[in-house]
Amino acid sequence: MIHPEEPYYRRRIATAQITTVISITLVLFLMGLMGLIVLHAKMLSDYVRENIGFSIMIKDDIRESRILEFKKSLDLQSFVKSSEYLPRDKAAKKLMKDLGEDFVEFLGYNPLLPGIELRIKAPYANRDSLSLIETRLMARPEVKEVFYQKSLVDAINRNVEKISLILLGFSGILLFIAIVLINNTIRLSVYSKRFIIRSMQLVGATEGFIRKPLVIRSILHGVISAFFALLMLMALVYFALEEIPELLELSAPVMLIILVAALFILGSFISFGSTWFAVRKYLRIRTDLLYT
């Protein structure tokens, strides 16, 4: 015979479990959102740094075949992201487009030298590395002059460092808040089962037997919450790409896979740890304290 209050208690247990999953899902969603922001900020900073480059002016008496050989040798260097050869006429067209005037017609000749536009990989986009690269380039017999914006490099690196520190600090604070919120949610869930835990102890159940189903259920809640958090993040990313398609260029599949794995691990690990210590507390607490 079913006790009249049994359906009521079943509903309360189900409601508590759903509340726990929703709470953990929201916290993991915020963590995932922060992770996306950090990843895209890193990709954006690398993108900006890799647009820092050198304008290499070639001497007037160097043959084109030798310039192309020089370009090929540059492409083999570890610090080079990309390079583009600009012959005289192409350099003139580019400058005319920037100026909005036909200076060749005004002067009666093309004063520009052939050149190579060099883009540097992000790890080398700092003052010391760029100075060494400049010295190496100037040592080549084909090169007449090398230009790059030193003040822009310093400004970009300073801003990137500031933004990185802010994001790192905010991520640490958010991680702490996430752990505290998930821990409190699970502790409340275990608190509601404290009398069941004590009843099982009184009939002779071991600590491992009592703890096992609670820990497994908690880990399952963490995995389910991570899954729902990822669905929410995917929906957010989809709408963001619809509005800003350029964000796709800043996406790195490997980083996104790491973020997905991190959310599942974070949800499972925090749920496991919180449940373990909460159950341990009520396994060892005095009976009179169960009512407080």
Domain count, the chain: 2
Measured distance CA(280)–CA(292) in Å, rounded: 17
- Does residue 69 share a domain with residue 33? no
Q: Considering the domain boundaries, does residue 17 fall inside one?
A: yes
The phi and psi torsions of 283 (rounded to 5 degrees) equal -75, -25
pLDDT at 5: 46
What is the pLDDT at residue 13?
Answer: 58
287 & 165 share domain: yes
We report the CATH number of the domain holding residue 140 as 3.30.70.3040
Nearest to 86 by CA among 78, 102, 97: 97
Question: Quick one: 177 and 279 in the same domain?
Answer: yes
Judgement on whether residues 167 and 144 belong to the same structural domain of the protein: no
Residue 84's domain comprises 53-148
Question: Is residue 1 assigned to a domain?
Answer: no
As a whole number of angstroms, the distance between CA 282 and CA 201 comes to: 10
**Of 90, 113, 148, the domain-final residue:** 148
Residue 172 CB burial class (10 angstroms; 0-12, 13-18, ≥19): exposed
pLDDT at res. 75? 87
* Residue 100, phi-psi category: left (phi > 0), alpha (psi -120 to 50), beta (remainder): left
**What is the model's pLDDT at position 266?**
83
The predicted structure's pLDDT at residue 217: 85
Whole-model pTM over 0.85: no
Res 240: pLDDT: 77
Residues 89 and 141 in one domain: yes
The residue out of 148, 182, 202 marking a domain boundary is 148
My answer on whether 285 and 181 are in the same domain is yes
At 95 the pLDDT is: 65
Phi, psi at residue 62, to the nearest 5°?
A: -85, 130
- Which residues of the chain carry a pLDDT beneath 70? 1-16, 91-92, 95-96, 98-112, 246-252, 286-292
CA quadruple 25, 27, 31, 33: dihedral positive or negative? positive
Task: Give, in degrees to the nearest 5, the angle at Cα 155 between 174 and 145.
Answer: 145
Q: Do 183 and 164 fall into the same domain?
A: yes
